Structure 1
Amino acid sequence: MTELLDWFAENQESIFFFAGKVVVALVIIIGGFILARALANTLVRRLDKSNIDNAVVSFMAGIIRTIIIIAALLMALSHVGVQTTSFIAILGAAGLAIGLALQGSLSNFASGVLIMIYRPFKSGDYVDAGGTAGTVQRIELFTTIFKTPDNKLVIVPNSKITGSEITNFSEEPTRRVDMVIGVSYSADLKKTKEVLMDVITSDERTLEDPAPRVAVTALNDSSVDFIVRPWVKSADYWPMYWDSMERIKNALDENGIGIPFPQMDVHLHHPDGAAGKLRVVQQHVDKLDDKKES
């Protein structure tokens, strides 16, 4: 006991100095926990106002909390004299190894966070993204789930979505229906235009603003092409397209306006003139008759 007291008396200054460092280290750790909680709560409150998915908010808050706590622990250890360089090197190497092992998953996760933050689409939107067209069912951290028009569920990695073009068909309240109708060259263009315009304007789904448009767009080999472009609500796009196609065909038939199909005229030329042509045709007919009899 005497020896312990003597040792304490001899090292009293060092002991109090080290104790002071321990107290400061504890204060740093406690302050780190308090700061981590405060920043995490602030982040959660701010991100909640931006309608970001709760899973992303919780995950990001957890990452910030963990980083601050680890930093506080390293600072506390360094303050009491522990060499933290080796710890930092080990953490860096471990992080690099984990990052390389989970490169694809981390890429999908980062893409999922970006999708949820910038929200190029939301659940219920009909989009074309990542090579898949369908209605968005769920947006998750690593994947996005679509339902196609033929009722199939397609799970697409988020990195594939953010790495390609995204077309959102539901973002705007209205859409333009684009149809191309070909009629024969013998058709009356003015009458044809009136018939096509009457078909789309008589449909109650056609919007007055923007106004529908019908115009000649091309003179093809076998047809004169008209563009027919009514504007409708986004939800009415496909019903309007299908109904209009059927009604346009019936209206053209009722008005005697022909819809052409690919065809070719064959002209026979013979050096003996018309008589030679008739002989050639008669020979072909005779051969066909012989084949039928045989």
Structure 2
Amino acid sequence: MSDLLIWLRSLATHAFDHAWAWRMLVAASIGILGIWLARWVARALDRLMLRLQVEQILRSFLRNVSYAIAVIVALIAALDYAGVPTTSLLAVVGAAGLAIGLALKDSLANIASGVMLIMLRPFHTGDSVQIAGLEGIVDSVRIFQTTLHTGDNRVIILPNSQITAAPIINFTTRGERRLDLNIGIGYSDDLAAARTSLIAAANGNRRVKSEPAPEVLLLELGDTRVSLQLRAWVPAGEVAFARSELLETIHGSFAGQGIRIPVLQREVHVHHHGTAMTVEEGVQATTPRA
């Protein structure tokens, strides 16, 4: 810092020194030329990344960073040529940078996470994802934050540092998802007929893929029902529609064959014994007709 103050005091001494004025002119030229070169380098780097098909957000970030670094180098070179004690200046700039970095550590963490997301690409714009328990469609991935929108058009804005620290489920990457439908039937119903109806419902749906073929598994023999699971592969973006259509088809098919889906009902029996009263509760399955 003292070297910098000494240099500032010397400005008055050299105010009419032609050699010193020439030195300042050359230093200014170095700075201007350096800034021009910084812009040229940034544009050249941007064109290179465009040919390499680098993400737009990453391109913009790297272009700005490269430009800033080149400008800083040019200014330091110009100041050094002008005789400015750059060691003291760098110490001041470094201390200021450290203070700013500590104050903006959360924002810097978001920037670092944003660069990681853009480079590693765990998801792209338009992907259906679940992040930290929140599910939606990716609208944009920016340096500080990522924006999603839900099926009912709510907007979710997530700081990038939270995304990289949380599990990410991408429903779109592989193009297809397995749809699992759990269906219960009564013990008196025909298991084979129910299985055939479920397979037929899946094969008759235009959204269900033929390969892998739909399948039905017996999941559990419960207290009141036989639990079956229909597994069918559908396009990743059509899961909700396929689920609705299959349930509607299965409901109609079961009704036509007399297959009933057990419904749990709770019955409460109250018994009076003089002044005493007892309560009995029980759960039973009924099979209402469709």
TM range (shorter): 0.7 to 0.9
- Give deviations 1:240-285, integer Å, cap 9, x for gaps: 101111221222232222322336899xxxxxxxxxxxxxx9x87x
Q: How many residues align?
A: 257
CA distance in 1 between partners of 2:145 and 2:241 (Å): 31
CA distance in structure 2 between the partners assigned to 1:114 and 1:121 by the alignment: 12
Q: Counterpart of 1:141 in structure 2: which amino acid? A: I
Residue 99 of structure 2 is aligned with which of 97, 100, 125?
97
Q: For residue 128 of structure 1, what is the aligned residue in structure 2? A: 130
Counterpart of 1:41 in structure 2: which amino acid? Answer: R
Contact residue 57 and residue 118 of structure 2 kept, 8 A: no
Given candidates 32, 36, 42, the residue that maps to 1:40 is: 42
User: Counterparts of 1:135 and 1:116 in 2: how far apart (Å)?
Assistant: 16
Larger radius of gyration: 1
> Using the alignment, how far apart are the partners of 1:29 and 1:151 within structure 2?
50
Q: Distance in 2 between matches of 1:32 and 1:64?
A: 13
Instruction: Give the distance between the partners of 1:203 and 1:131, measured in 2 at CA.
Output: 30
2:68 is aligned to 66
Q: Is the 8 A contact 1:130 1:156 kept in 2?
A: no
Give the Cα–Cα distance (whole angstroms) in 1 for the partners of residues 171 and 253 of structure 2.
30
Matched, 1:240 2:242: yes
Q: Which residue does the alignment assign to 2:11?
A: none
Tell me what 1:276 maps to. Answer: none
Partner of 1:87: 89
Provide the residue aligned with 1:168 in structure 2: 170
Please report the TM-score for the alignment, with normalisation by the length of structure 1. Answer: 0.73
- For 1:158, the aligned partner's letter is N
Aligned position for 1:259 = 261
- 1:140 corresponds to which residue? 142
What is the aligned partner in structure 2 of residue 159 from structure 1?
Answer: 161
**Aligned partners of 1:162, 1:51: CA distance in 2, in Å?**
23
How big is the shift at 1:122? 2.6
Structure 1 range deviating more: 115-124 or 88-97: 115-124
Aligned residue in 2 for 1:196: 198
Unmatched 5+ residue regions in structure 1? 1-14, 267-280, 289-294
**Bigger proportion of residues as helix:** 1
Change (3 A) 1:130 1:45: farther
1:3 maps to none
User: Which has a greater percent of strand?
Assistant: 2
Q: Which amino acid aligns with 1:175?
A: R
Please give the alpha-carbon distance, in whole angstroms, between the structure 2 residues aligned to 1:21 and 1:171.
Answer: 60
Per-residue Cα deviation, 1:109-152 (whole angstroms, up to 9, x for no partner): 23223333333223322221243211222333322222211222
User: Of the candidates 180, 183, 206, which is equivalent to residue 181 of structure 1?
Assistant: 183
User: Following the alignment from structure 2 to structure 1, what is the Cα–Cα distance between the partners of residues 76 and 258?
Assistant: 87
- CA offsets, 1:184-238, max 9 Å, x none? 2222222221121111112222211111111212222222211101112223211
Q: Which deviates more, 121-130 or 201-210? A: 121-130
Aligned AA (1:243): E
Say which is worse superposed, 78-87 or 147-156, in terms of deviation: 78-87
C-alpha displacement of 1:56: 4.1
Letter in 2 for 1:98: I
**Sequence identity percentage:** 38
**Structure 2 residue runs without a partner (length 5+):** 1-17, 278-290
3-state secondary structure, aligned to 1:172: coil
Determine the C-alpha separation between the residues in 2 that align with 1:264 and 1:62: 67
CA distance in 2, matches of 1:58, 1:148: 28
Q: 1:52: Cα distance to partner?
A: 4.3
For the residue of structure 2 that corresponds to 1:229, the secondary structure is strand
Tell me whether 223-232 or 123-132 shows the greater mean CA deviation: 123-132
Cα gap change, 1:146 to 1:224, in 2 (>3 Å) = same
Alpha-carbon separation, structure 2, partners of 1:177 and 1:30:
63
- Match of 1:137, SS? strand
1:57 aligns with 2:59: yes
